[in-house]
Amino acid sequence: MKNTLYGLWRGLRRVSGDDAYERYLAHWRKHHAAEGGQPLDRKAFIKVEQDRKWNGVRRCC
């Protein structure tokens, strides 16, 4: 039962985007850590994602 609830909680977080920063960090560690540098902090990550999501929305209505 506990594993089922945990799995549902993880699924809900993924669908809602609540775990986006954690997924970004995991991706960064796997693919970019060897290049050096630092990953974005949570505040910078949220700003970049909001800009990506909303700047450039072009629609007629």
Q: Which pLDDT band, with edges at 50, 70 and 90, does 61 fall under? A: low
Contact 28, 3 (CB under 8 A): no
* 0.85 exceeded by pTM: no
pLDDT (tens digit, 9 = 90+) per residue, 37-54? 999 999 999 999 999 888
Give the closest residue to 50 by CA, choosing from 17, 26, 22.
17
Q: Residue ranges per domain, the chain? A: 2-54
3-state SS of the chain: helix, strand, coil percent to 5? 70, 0, 30
